[in-house]
Amino acid sequence: MEPLRIGILGAARIAGRAIAEPARLTGARLVAVAARETDRAEAFAAEHGVERVHASYDDVINDPEVEAIYNPLANALHGPWNLRAIAAGKHVLTEKPSASNAAEAAQVRDAAREAGVMVMEGFHYLFHPVTKRLQELLGKGELGELQHVEATMVMPPPADEDPRWSLPLAGGAVMDVGCYALHAQRMLAPWGGGRPTLVSARAGERKRLPGVDEWLNADLVFPNGATGAVRTSMAAEQLEFSLKVVGTRGEAFAPSFVLPHQDDRVIVTTKEDHWVEHLGRKSSYAYQLEAFTAHLREGSPVPIDADDAVATMELIDAAYRSAGLQPRPSMQL
């Protein structure tokens, strides 16, 4: 396939891991990058082999050689800059969550549909064999009928000045890590009789930061009666990004489903047996870029799109409201 030609908005740390390294592995071209400080963009370009540095994000979006935009900016800047990229006729691979709230996600979806471009939210875990194996175990009936799903996304606290603690920048535990846990529950809909719905949520605010969730726990239910539990925090002692799927015949546990390059195990326990599978340490971001490219070049199907992004934000907003907090505000550029 012809290499995908990518423009990068910002020189955030995640961009190296989530797009630059995968581009090197998949052969994609990193055509352009811009950052708020030009010297940071130049350093990023030198380190990762980006072909040119532009003075602004708009210049990257309007570069005629760029066909797809990667957006790793702060959460509140995802929706506005995704809309700018769509207006320029560019496909978008956006960091999660795709917008600050469900209304903004719907704006992005509708704009993409009208422009005929692809917008994909960066839930990279979904493309790794670890997650595919969990789904396969359910699909083949090895775990029996789905009964319960536990998704845990907790981590030690970022520094106080980190933008992930900023309400105007759409920060909070759910927006940073909890969105993975809620999304993973939604992705088990085929085995739960349909999408799960929120039953209740509880949250704790960060000290001196009203409205910003330090932690949030949520309970869900699937149409077939299976239950879901989400635990998310940005104030834990240790990092844990795990997913457990429990069925009538057994259970499967992925201790690091969002970071499978660090721990690629799926641990299966049934009524008859117990075993451990290793699914490979290749980066989930590389699998994601391969899938995104194959979709744009060959029309290969992908499991998520802009409609999925809206459904995820609807669930996030519902969790905030249930916990007594407000959905994140939209930002105007």
Annotated catalytic residues are: 96
Give every strand in the sheet of 227-233, ordered side by side.
197-206, 209-221, 227-233, 146-154, 240-247, 250-254, 265-270, 274-278
Measured CA to CA, the distance from residue 278 to residue 260 in angstroms comes to 10
Helix (H) or strand (E) holding 196: none
Measured CA to CA, the distance from residue 11 to residue 46 in angstroms comes to 12
Backbone angles phi, psi at 94, to 5 degrees: -110, 140
Helix (H) or strand (E) holding 55: none
The letter for the amino acid at 324 is G
Which among 284, 326, 329, 285 has a CA at the least distance from the CA of 6? 285
DSSP type of residue 151 = E
Measured CA to CA, the distance from residue 59 to residue 68 in angstroms comes to 13
Asked if 126 and 187 count as a contact pair (C-beta separation under 8 A), the reply is yes
Side-chain-side CA neighbours of 285 within 13 Å: the count stands at: 21
